[in-house]
Structure 1
């Protein structure tokens, strides 16, 4: 399974700024663990960001999202969409194979 985690700020981007350093550490930790495949800001950035996560079930994805410093500080919230990859570009097929049906 893959999970698309959409982060939405619940305050202005400026109000979330004090929590960015801790949020980046959160991202780094999950990228290093291999759970986050991709992460980045949306365009425009004041909307929040997106993460593609793998290697955890839905409950694990929800737990990860709840641990984001933005969420803990009340400046962000996540919407999670879970997918089972059915098709992928050949360049991604090997990467996604462990997470498919």
Structure 2
């Protein structure tokens, strides 16, 4: 399973600023663990950010998002969309842990 995590600020980007360093440590931790594949700000950046996660079930990813310092501080919320990949580019298959029958080139 893959999960698209969309972070939306509940306050201005400026008001969330004091939590950025903790949020970056949170991202680094989950990138090192291999759960987060991609993370970044949305455009425009004042809306929030997005993360592509893998390797965990829905309940676990919801627990992980609840641990984000932005969420704990009440300055942001997540929307979680779970994806069951039906087709995957060959270059991504191993990284995503997708079975060979779903690889499309």
TM-score by length of 1: 0.94
1:6: which partner in 2?
6
2:20: which partner in 1?
20
Pick the structure with greater CA Rg. 2
The structure 1 segments of at least 4 consecutive aligned residues displaced by more than 6 Å after TM superposition are none
1:67: which partner in 2?
67
Task: Give the Cα separation in 2 of the matches to 1:56 and 1:85.
Answer: 14
Asked whether the equivalents of residues 16 and 70 of structure 2 are also in contact (C-alpha less than 8 Å), the reply is: yes
Structure 1: state its 5+ residue gaps.
none
User: Considering only aligned residues, what root-mean-square deviation do their CA atoms show, in Å?
Assistant: 1.6
Task: Give the Cα separation in 1 of the matches to 2:67 and 2:99.
Answer: 23
Matches within 5 A, 1:17-96: 17-96=17-96
Relative to structure 1, the CA distance from residue 38 to residue 81 in structure 2 (aligned partners, 3 Å threshold; closer, same or farther) is same
Report the Cα offset of residue 14 of structure 1.
0.1
Query: Which segment drifts farther, 42-51 or 86-95?
Result: 86-95
Task: Give the Cα separation in 2 of the matches to 1:41 and 1:30.
Answer: 16
Q: Deviation string for 1:26-72 (max 9, x for gaps)?
A: 00000000000110000110010000111110000100000000000
Aligned length: 101
TM-score by length of 2: 0.91
Structure 2: state its 5+ residue gaps.
none
